[in-house]
Structure 1
């Protein structure tokens, strides 16, 4: 089952195609802006075999596309660990930040990785210290198919549970793809509802989701663009949330 899911994920994400070079750079900058903060507050949990933790294939493809562009781009540029910047630690796969995990968690999540013992030593190393130690880990390779499986089976269920708790009122009224857009939003932006930058999140929680209104959700995703307008992240993050809006609207 897991192998089948990974193969389907690969097929879905291949269909999106690679983004232009400029868009790839903008996307990586956008990811770096939020990754450290999100990973710091959302611990990655082991997979639990519960149907409610399943993220739809379309939503997984959406997240993968906006995190790494495509499997081909991942294989060219992201097979080895990177340091996204800021408060991040040594990071591999789809935003798995070793600096914000404990060594036992890394060993559990990546038990099948041939370099798991070395990856576990990245635990707790963040910021410029992570930047400085990165060369020690650049020879470690995580192939896309393995990365995709761990991302889907280990990483996403934790964020899906967080999204379900955050948007609990009306969650069950939503189609799987619409639920997946909320998981994608929490993965990218966290679950905080505090501050003017979070007004669309509050409307999602208090108005759209309780009504099961996917058009309302789409409108809030598009409205989020005002947060990044005029910044270096506008193209990447506005594109991401316009895509989320389309996925919500098409959800059945």
Structure 2
């Protein structure tokens, strides 16, 4: 398991808001709670495992119906969660203990030689994967993942300057 350096965690937390379930973030997102925890992209078991120690059983039961819903289906559910609140302290615990380790694992899978990079470079790539995912493949007619492939190649070469250039 990879530990994301404290500076990277602090930077991510500084730029991520606290999501409440009654405010749908838009697009293809599901109901998003805490620090970017998208219920549209998790299973019921994962949600209950991640949040069961941090929010009430009543709120777990309420929010369970949003698991797997994305886009307009999620938007239409959001108003059902007015009054359901996620505390920042709980959100940060789930983020640091559950979400970050998962995305560090995904970054390690996406970028060969990730484990050989300095901690801060690893942290930057975990942030990238958290925000953009791991796909290296463009959809037909798009050119949105070119920098992901360039970063992957730079990681293999240990080229920190190129990684930084592609992140900009």
Q: TM-score normalized by structure 2? A: 0.87
Distance 1:133 1:172, change over 3 A: closer
Q: Hey, what's the Cα distance between the residues in 1 that align with 2:136 and 2:91?
A: 31
Moved more, 154-163 or 116-125: 116-125
- Normalized per residue, which structure has more helix? 1
**Which residue does the alignment assign to 2:116?**
173
Structure 1 vs Structure 2 CA RMSD: 1.7
Q: Hey, what's the Cα distance between the residues in 2 that align with 1:79 and 1:122?
A: 13
| Runs of 4+ residues over 6 Å off in structure 1 | none
1:211 aligns with one of 157, 160, 164? 157
Structure 2 residue ranges without an equivalent (≥5): none
1:132 lines up with 2:76 in the alignment: yes
1:201 aligns with one of 144, 148, 154? 148
1:187 aligns with one of 130, 147, 151? 130
Q: Hey, what's the Cα distance between the residues in 2 that align with 1:56 and 1:185?
A: 14
Within-5 A mapping of 1:1-252: 52-68=1-17, 74=18, 78-112=19-53, 113-114=55-56, 115-168=59-112, 170-195=113-138, 196-206=143-153, 208-222=154-168
Shift of the alpha carbon at 1:53?
A: 2.3
C-alpha contact (below 8 Å) 1:107/1:117 kept by paired residues: no
Distance 1:61 1:81, change over 3 A: farther
**Which residue does the alignment assign to 1:32?**
none
Shift of the alpha carbon at 1:80?
A: 4.8
C-alpha contact (below 8 Å) 1:102/1:124 kept by paired residues: yes
Structure 1 residue ranges without an equivalent (≥5): 1-51, 69-73, 223-252
The residue matched to 2:145 in structure 1 has which SS? helix
Q: Hey, what's the Cα distance between the residues in 2 that align with 1:152 and 1:125?
A: 24
Q: Hey, what's the Cα distance between the residues in 2 that align with 1:148 and 1:81?
A: 19
